[in-house]
Amino acid sequence: MINTIKNFIEDAGWPRILIALFLVFLFVAAPFVDVRLDASVSDTLIRFGMNGVMVLAMVPMIQSGCGLNFGLPLGIIAGLLGAVTSVQLEMHGLFGVFGAMAMATPLAIIFGWGYGLLLNRVKGDEMMIATYVGFSSVAIMCVMWLILPYDSPKMVWGYAGEGLRTTISVEEFWQNAIGDIASFRFGEFFYFPTGVFVFFFLCCGAIALFMRTKTGTAMATVGSNPEFAKANGVNINRMRTLSVIISTVLGAYGIIIYQQSFGFIQLYMGPFYMAFPAVAAVLIGGASVKKASIMNVIVGTILFQGILTMTPSVINSIIQTDMSEVIRIIVSNGMILYALTRVVRGRE
Amino acid sequence: MENQPILRVEHVGKTYYKNRVLKDVSFTLNKGSILGLVGENGAGKSTLMNILFGMSVIAETGGYEGKIFVDGAEVLFLRPKDALSAGIGMVHQEFSLIPGFTVTENILLNRESLHHNITEEVFGERLATLDREDMKKRASLAIQKLNVDLDGETLISELPVGYKQFTEIAREISSSRTRILVLDEPTAVLTESEAEILLKSMRNLADAGIAIIFISHRLDEVLSICDKIVVLRDGEVVLDTKVGETSVRGMANAMVGRQTKRIEQTKAVKDENAKVLLEVNNLWVDMPGETVRDVSLRVMQGEIYGISGLAGQGKLGIANGIMGLMLAGGSVIFDGKPLQLNAPSESLAAGITAVSEDRRGVGLLLEESIEWNIIFSALQNQSGFLKPILGGLLHIRDEKRIEACAKQYVKDLEIRCTSEKQKVQELSGGNQQKVCLAKAFETNPKLLFVAEPTRGIDVGAKALVLDALRKYNRENGMTIIMISSELEELRSICDRIAITDRGSIAGVLPASAPSEDFGLLMMGKVDQVEVSA
């Protein structure tokens, strides 16, 4: 019995166990400070569904040894372009969401290809370069959102008649178009977006399957031991580029799923910090800079989003003042800090 | 006291993890004489010097047997500092100089002349200032002893290699205590004229009363300068003689010849009129430390072809170049078709596979299972072990067949493991090597390169590895090129053996040629051997 517990702790790792215990504590404490448990669980699940695909986008690049995808905003931009285009074309419902994804895909492939070529030139420093790829692409797009020829009255600035607004509502187009498929409610507060979960797990399944193909096996080997891969006839650069493209495409899908749950498209600085929660989540899930599995994604997203959802509401109620934004920032950045210390350990 | 030797080594032996590397080594060194220490790679020279210099690796692995006397008193060095204070100085093959410091500063590093001042009284000697004038004098004195033209104010980073070597030696002799100087292959990096200067200054030092141990692979130099020669082989002294009583041939014979009986020859199946499988012309390979300059060779179908030579002479570069792992040029014709170089997948597709000498770095995925390691190459290059799913839309790994295949190899090659799912990094070196072989065999190559297959593995595994190679050659007609520093091992399994020297083939001999001929080829004495190609 003691051995089983020991093994479990060793497998899961102390950080994950502590975070899980803290999350359990928050759920237990919630009813005592008048935070509704059913609403909390529902919120956590919704946020899990919203963010899951973007966390999944970390996996291919980690597998191929490109490190954590700090350049996720690049994929997000492809997704945003797909989303605003679908709104421009007045596409509604499932047709709108999948239309947005379909239009984002070729863009994400092109962006990812260029991004991949760049990362192949900076082997060893991928993560720092990736961070700046993300930041600078967001900056370029700040200009582009203003000058791209979108003119739907739902999206442009009212007084000027041109240039996209910072926040665009998709409520009348495709909010919850996927989420509402077979969704259900318990009482007033509990809502379960079945469709989003189905979509997330389909993505996971696709990646898991891909990792078992010849190409997927080669990709994992490139990350694990590039010299070995090369000696066995694997084209390292091609595998790395492919992994970056897949990550970027997943990032584009991820943001579209996020928007259909959230109800808004956030442009301009919106994607700026989007990579960090995803990076933090996959690391908390137990991934290292060199190895990540689908399980890491699922566990990490639940833990990270759970804490992020629960901390502000529960702690706010405990200390009786509105600190939610401050606490959210502290928790979120604290986790990234923790995650980055894990990065260093992973390198040793 | 005149005939009292300054250094006496008596019955010194050493084992590393039950692996004997030195056995009953005894010799003496007199004041002012030069002793040449000669032996193949792995003969035990480095271990002997590590013992003499008190390197910590010796104490950490259980110390050594026997006794060492300096000036008639027994000494036991536990750390290099002890050896230094007893007057032993050592110049290593790799330079330990600070590139941004001047020659003088390097020579007197940590032994600088000091000015005294107040801060020193308060905070201790670390804050004393340097007496540059005196340092300059001391350094130039040391340089004078060497009799070379070296400016003490030059930065190390601006010096040619040879002069860095002189700086190292000057550092050792600048210590007034140094009475025994060990030079580990000092001429290996020097040009001929620099080497000459060095040899001359060694003579000067010896005449000044310093005893020198000179380790070298250049037998001519050893003969020309030493008073006494000790040849090590497999950790034993096989020759201890005055310089006039031996020749280059005698030393070469002592170095490589084994008294032990040859392992029974089990010859490869070789057709007399077999065709040429691999033809290499003017191959060059840019492999750090193993540069290949101009190699041409022809390997026949069904042959086991050995390549040997001293470390750094390019034998390993040949395989890495042909496999496309290192930048290479020249012409390689395989199976009648020209082979594209610098493209690993081309070589693999043509039917050439290699077992790398860098087992842990290139040969294995340490963090993955045995089965994944074994099937990887076949999976990637021959699309083996895949099964269709979704009506043939996608092919994924067939885990059942992978497991069955791995199980078979575990049984055939006697890989000791808990299961084929065990991670490779948990296996012993010998079993890791078997996994490497299994991976190569599974691709069913027409030509197999095996580099250093027995390095660092125990005797039992060694025999198994060699048997496996022999079996695949005989039963499957697999042509094998085996690259090894262990000449005797090659002679037990190969048909012909090529010896590399300075990046090209010095000669090709049948495995049955006398061992001293191989030794001479290794030493670059081509003219003294009748080479039959």
- Of A224, A230, A235, Cβ closest to residue B365: A224
* pLDDT at residue A348, rounded to an integer: 37
Res B272 pLDDT > 80: no
DSSP letter for each residue of A25-85: HHHHHGGGGT--HHHHHHHHHHHHHHHHHHHHTHHHHHHTT----TTHHHHHHHHHHHHHH
pLDDT tier, A15 (very low <50, low <70, confident <90, very high otherwise): confident
Which amino acid is residue A44, in one-letter code?
Answer: T
Q: Do A232 and B348 touch (CB under 8 A)?
A: yes
- Please report the pLDDT score of residue B192 as a whole number: 72
Q: Mean pLDDT of all residues in chain B?
A: 83
> In this model, does residue B269 exceed pLDDT 70?
no
> What is the rounded end-to-end Cα distance, in angstroms, of chain B?
56
Inter-chain CB proximity B380 and A218 less than 8 Å:
yes
pLDDT in tens, B177-204: 788 888 888 877 677 777 888 888 888 8
Domain ranges in chain B with CATH number 3.40.50.300? 1-87+178-256, 276-528
B383 contacts A230? CB cut-off 8 A: no
Structure tokens at A193: 């977006």
* Residue-range definition of the domain harbouring residue A174: 14-182+192-343
Distance from CA of A69 to the nearest CA of B (A): 23
Q: What are phi and psi of B391, to 5 degrees?
A: 65, 35
- In sequence order, the 6+-apart residues with CB closer than 8 A to the CB of B66 are B9, B10, B11, B12, B13, B24, B25, B26
The torsion angles phi and psi of B373, rounded to 5 degrees, stand at -60, -45
Asked if B365 and A233 come within 8 Å (Cβ–Cβ), the reply is no
Q: Which residues of A touch B323 (CB under 8 A)?
A: 231
Stretch A248-264: mean pLDDT: 93
Q: Which CATH class is domain B276-528?
A: alpha beta
In a domain, A126, yes or no: yes
CB B109 within 8 A of CB B171: yes
For residue A32, the domain's CATH number is 1.10.3470
Instruction: Count up the domains in chain A and report the number.
Output: 1
Q: For this complex, say whether ipTM is above 0.85.
A: no
Tens of pLDDT, residues A16-35: 788 888 889 888 888 888 88
Contact B361, B424 (CB under 8 A): no
Q: What percent of chain A has pLDDT over 70?
A: 95
User: pLDDT digit string (tens) for B119-143?
Assistant: 777 777 777 778 888 888 888 888 8
Is the Cβ pair B345, A221 closer than 8 Å? no
How many angstroms separate the CA atoms of A211 and A64, rounded?
11
* Cβ atoms of A278 and A47 closer than 8 Å: no
| CATH superfamily, domain at B1-87+178-256 | P-loop containing nucleotide triphosphate hydrolases (3.40.50.300)
Collect all residues from A whose CB is shorter than 8 A from any CB in B.
209, 212-214, 217-218, 221, 224-225, 227-228, 230-235, 291
